[in-house]
Structure 1
Amino acid sequence: MNLNINLKRSVFLMLALALGTLTSCDDDVNGNPLIASNVDASFTVTPVTGAINTYLLVAQPKGVISSKWDTGTGAYPGKMNETISLPDAGTYTITHTAIGAGGAMGTATAQVTVATSDPAKGNLIKGGSFVTAEDQANWKKVIYNAGADWTYSAKGATISGGHAGIYQAVDVIKDKEYTIDMTVSGGASSDMWFEVYAGKVDPATVSGDYGDGGKVMGLSTWDGCGKTEFSGRLSAIGCVKNAKKDAVSNVVKFDTTGKIYLMIRCGGGIAPGGISVKSVELRGK
């Protein structure tokens, strides 16, 4: 008798659970259990003790598969616990994009105010935004084949085809480490290369491809990046190895004090719309 009662209760419980499951599916916002809803992108910002203008961003991990961060220079793939440096004084809007199941996304923002610039990490590049005529005057062009050119606009410097470079001279200190970075964007390309150099030879004096100092960083469809649409900091989305480190790295060091040339050149099968560059930086590490 007791066994029969227990069986009836079990059957009733299973039926109730099944109906409850059906009801919950009907109430689901997106109706697809494979796509997350209400992805929580919230995060905290904490100054890093002992480090100048450096902050730890901590996002909550529940229901989040991957993260993207944007400090104002373009979104890039990051970690749930991300350390950022904001060398220049100013107010920054930090944006976190959290990606959940099925590609569902949530975003959250926070403002960080930096009172004083870090004197050791000032940007040595002039006119890296390319927005004004004054910005653009800091750069020189090298055109390697007919029809190639760099054009300037509010979205930065853009090369739309052919083989051409832009560069400027920068004064550096012997044995000091520097980092190079920039925001790049473009469509899916084929047989394309985008390269950054920091050499001691003036590109205007070089006939043929520039290679002094070795490649620092870049994009290359042969190396596996630039085949699909891209946008972000080159240090995060680039795949070209630093020639002096034999690894992907944006860190450089020079054996003499004096003038070097930051050279950006591109060529090959660039997608329609070209490749755009902005927010170019060379800073002390």
Structure 2
Amino acid sequence: MSYQKLKKNIGLGVLAAFTLVGCVPEDEELSLGEQPEATFMVEAVAGQNNTYVLTNTTPGAFVSVWDKGSGFEKGREMDTIFLPDRGTYDIQLVAVTSGGADTSAVQTINVETSDPAAGNLVVGGRMNAEDADHWTLFTISDGVAFEMVEGKMRATGGGWGHAGFYQAVQVEANKPYQFGATVSGSGASDTWFEVYFGRTEPQSYQDYSDGGVQLALNTWAGCATTSFNGSLLSVGCEGALRETNGVITFDEGGTIYLVVKTGGGDLGAEGIAIDNLELRGTK
């Protein structure tokens, strides 16, 4: 067992112990039962997209602490979760009984399709190592390159190089979508960083402008010249989506290409990084 795993289990044990003591009436005599073995069941909810019921099946359990993919927190014996985004989610349970606490084995939920209303249509937008296969890199002119590093897609270089990356996304006609992304950098000069939604697939060593600039950093317009870290919508200084607070609609449904490209004289010491790319339907 790794140190981090051991530390997490110790912390959960302490939490469970306090919970146990707090739940026993003062006028009752304490007696520990058999050490539990934490178990739970996962069931998909019929007729509801990406919705699941988690049921603590540990005999005698009176406290349920669930990790639903983003850390442990106290919940109910039977909890319902909604997972809007396509991906895999590791679910785990700490169950507390009169005999103590136990951490269950992990059960993995595989969400095949993002929820059409609330799900992120961008696959691999968090830019974790396993997300690399969902993106295609392309070079427009040598001198700038993108690379996935430490949870971000980072562009470095300069010399008037030009490069990008993209992904095909399926959209519906006349449906409003909310776009968002996080960008960071140490400050650049003579540099642009742009987002497009186009109908044509990018080609290596060809510039891309299909659909027009939707959001952008542009040092000539006054942004990204010093250190920055935040939403592209707030950090950026150009693009049509600045007028709609990031909401975009498409006249025709089908395949569009989410394209990010950058280039210029000097992207800065740390380059320009982007992550948390999202395109979600709005209600």
TM surpasses 0.5: yes
1:233-277 Cα distance to aligned partner (Å, 9 max, x none):
1122111121xx683642211111100000000111211111111
Sequence identity (%): 39
8 Å CA contact retained: 2:215, 2:242: no
Alignment of 1:104-115 (within 5 A): 115=81
C-alpha distance in structure 1 between counterparts of 2:175 and 2:215, whole Å? 19
1:136–1:91 Cα change, 3 Å: closer
8 Å CA contact retained: 1:217, 1:240: yes
Pair 1:128-2:125 in alignment: yes
8 Å CA contact retained: 2:141, 2:205: no
C-alpha distance in structure 1 between counterparts of 2:229 and 2:255, whole Å? 31
Alignment of 1:214-253 (within 5 A): 214-242=212-240, 247=243, 249-253=245-249
Alignment of 1:144-163 (within 5 A): 144-161=140-157, 162-163=161-162
Q: How much does 1:116 deviate?
A: 2.8
Deviates more, 1:152-161 or 1:171-180: 152-161
Name stretches of at least 5 consecutive residues in structure 2 with no aligned partner: 1-67, 72-79, 85-114
Name the amino acid aligned to 2:275. K
Q: So what's the TM-score if we normalise by structure 2?
A: 0.56
Name stretches of at least 5 consecutive residues in structure 1 with no aligned partner: 1-88, 93-113
Partner SS state of residue 215, structure 1: coil
Q: Equivalent of 1:262, from 250, 258, 261? A: 258
RMSD: 2.5
Correspondence for 1:188: 187
1:198-220 Cα distance to aligned partner (Å, 9 max, x none):
0111112x763211111111111
Partner SS state of residue 234, structure 2: helix
Q: How much does 1:155 deviate?
A: 3.3
Q: How much does 1:189 deviate?
A: 1.2
Name the amino acid aligned to 1:138. H
Name the amino acid aligned to 1:137. D
C-alpha distance in structure 2 between counterparts of 1:153 and 1:160, whole Å? 11
Partner SS state of residue 127, structure 1: coil
C-alpha distance in structure 1 between counterparts of 2:119 and 2:227, whole Å? 31
Pair 1:282-2:279 in alignment: yes
1:169-189 Cα distance to aligned partner (Å, 9 max, x none):
000000011121111100121
C-alpha distance in structure 2 between counterparts of 1:91 and 1:277, whole Å? 21
Partner SS state of residue 160, structure 1: strand
Alignment of 1:1-285 (within 5 A): 115-117=81-83, 119=115, 120-132=117-129, 134-161=130-157, 162-204=161-203, 208-242=206-240, 247=243, 249-268=245-264, 269-285=266-282
C-alpha distance in structure 2 between counterparts of 1:260 and 1:251, whole Å? 15
Q: Tell me how many residue pairs correspond in the alignment.
A: 174
C-alpha distance in structure 2 between counterparts of 1:163 and 1:216, whole Å? 18
C-alpha distance in structure 1 between counterparts of 2:179 and 2:186, whole Å? 23
8 Å CA contact retained: 1:90, 1:115: no
C-alpha distance in structure 1 between counterparts of 2:154 and 2:267, whole Å? 11
- Runs of 4+ aligned residues of structure 1 deviating over 6 Å after TM superposition are none
Partner SS state of residue 131, structure 2: helix
C-alpha distance in structure 2 between counterparts of 1:117 and 1:138, whole Å? 20
1:5-46 Cα distance to aligned partner (Å, 9 max, x none):
xxxxxxxxxxxxxxxxxxxxxxxxxxxxxxxxxxxxxxxxxx
1:147-188 Cα distance to aligned partner (Å, 9 max, x none):
321111223111102310000000000001112111110012
C-alpha distance in structure 2 between counterparts of 1:186 and 1:248, whole Å? 25
Q: So what's the TM-score if we normalise by structure 1?
A: 0.56
8 Å CA contact retained: 1:200, 1:260: yes
8 Å CA contact retained: 1:155, 1:276: no
1:112-150 Cα distance to aligned partner (Å, 9 max, x none):
xx9435641210111112222x31011001101223211
Which one has the largest radius of gyration?
A: 1
